Homo-oligomer: A and B are copies of this chain.
Amino acid sequence: MMTQPIWPPPPRTIMTPGPVEADPRVLRAMSYPMLGQFDPAFTALMNETMALLRRLFRTSNRQAYPVDGTSRAGLEAVLAGVVEPGDRVLVPICGRFGHLLHEIAERYGADVRVIEREWGTVFDPEDIIRAIRQYRPKVVALVHGETSTGRLQPLDGIGAACREYDALLVVDAVATIGGVPVNTDEWLLDAVVGGTQKCLSVPSGMAPLTYNGRVERILAARRRIERGIRPPGGGDSERPFIRSNYLDLCQLQDYWGPERLNHHTEMTAMLYGLREGVRIALEEGLEERFRRHRLHERALVRGLEAMGLTLFGDPACKLPVVTCVNIPEGVDGESVRAMLLERFGIEIAGSFGPLRGRIWRIGTMGYSCHMRNVLLTLGGLEAVLLRHGMRVPAGEALQAAMEVYEEEQAAQAARQA
């Protein structure tokens, strides 16, 4: 509509399943001056970040550090590390990011076995356990929060089954970490990869991950110190080496560990940001944070329903931080999204594959997940839908959402009394 200058970025309310608005404290941290990567002041920050990540992932794993790349770099690093050519990998798929795990495992030479369910549902853990029994995979790779469909995969019992059948459980928690419980140790998850630009509200650029001794043992057998810093006669691996150098977890853990073996140059500003983002999450308290995400989800859903919209997918497994809305018949979903962005500066998302053009996805993640954003989004969406000729009961969405907040206030007051 109006032409914008290219810089600075226009103000946005970002209610997508990521990237979302970054916490201003994170942005401020990122703007601090550089440190050299082996400066003791920097390695102290690296060590502290590892300790913070352990608390975030709820684990006592020694290994907890970020991979220097966006979320899928973390997923690839883990799969490249544990999958040797020909290894069997089981991937349960019910959305786009399940397909991504399949894709990555396949690229690294895995014999991938897939079980699929319709997008909008998840697997009964029993189905996954049955498939583990049937296929006897070395690795089970699955998505915890499937943002393409807005579903949360329950993990109960899968970790125990993996131990029983000697499989590794690799979990994509990119969308859930910091917004929904991810209990690495309690659930017996062997490797977990989180994302920065979703519930942690740090700009995209790092993939925090953790893995346990079961994964470390596989990596140890594949360790290969790179040419140029390899001691004479040393550094060869017993087993097929990892194809990627950049995403080689053996090298990364030697860089993050006390060895401090030179690998890449750590992303200074991103590390400052990640550290601050995790600090913020832990300061709020993880349980309190999960509760906050549930509250704003409730207000958003109540408002959407009051507008006459319906939600997509099986409600029993709804992902609290992503709400999928069926695009009403006769409404051009992309036109609605464009107008909402252009006039209100509010961004919501479409989806992929079979859901393209069928649903909107509204995120309530991290720093973006608060009352003001939920109310602005509902108000803006209502106006845009009316502008698109849809019959919407004007005003009701906001009243309904505000009721949720007032109920919560009353409940809080009652708890304190």
Smallest distance from the beta carbon of A183 to chain B beta carbons, Å?
25
CB pair B12 A203 closer than 8 Å:
no
Q: Is A208 an interface residue, CB under 8 A from the partner?
A: no
Give the number of residues in A that approach B within 8 Å (Cβ atoms): 83
Which residues of B are found within 8 Å of A41, using beta-carbon distances? Answer: 4, 6, 9-10, 12
Q: Is the CB of A228 within 8 A of B97?
A: yes
CA distance in complex: A41, B315 (Å): 35
Complex Cα spacing A30 to B33, Å: 12
- List 20 A-B pairs, Cβ < 8 Å: A4-B44, A6-B45, A6-B48, A14-B35, A20-B34, A22-B269, A39-B347, A70-B246, A70-B264, A70-B266, A71-B264, A73-B264, A76-B244, A76-B246, A100-B226, A100-B245, A103-B245, A204-B267, A246-B247, A269-B273
Which residues from chain A sit less than 8 Å from chain B, CB to CB?
Answer: 4, 6-12, 14, 16, 18-22, 27-28, 30-37, 39-42, 44-45, 48, 68-73, 76, 80, 96-100, 102-104, 106-108, 148, 197, 203-205, 226-229, 241-247, 262-270, 272-273, 341, 347, 349, 352-353
Q: Which of B16, B45, B270 has a CB less than 8 Å from the CB of A36?
A: B16
Q: In this complex, which of A31, A73, A229, A353 has the most chain B Cβ atoms within 10 angstroms of its Cβ? A: A31
Q: Is the CB of B34 within 8 A of A31?
A: no
Known: A12-B33, A245-B72. A96 touches B228 (CB 8 A): yes
A10 vs chain B, min Cβ distance (A): 5
In the complex, which of the residues B37, B44, B72, B352 contacts A246, with contact meaning CB atoms closer than 8 Å?
Answer: B72
Min distance, Cβ A202 to any Cβ of chain B, angstroms: 9
**Given contacts A245-B76, A269-B273, is CB(A31)–CB(B27) below 8 Å?**
yes
Q: Is the CB of B27 within 8 A of A32?
A: yes
Contact A266/B34 with A45-B9, A245-B104 known, Cβ cut-off 8 Å: no
On whether the beta carbons of B229 and A96 are closer than 8 Å, the reply is yes
A229→B148 CA distance, assembly (Å): 11
A265 and B204 within 8 A (CB)? yes
A68 engages B71 (CB within 8 Å): no
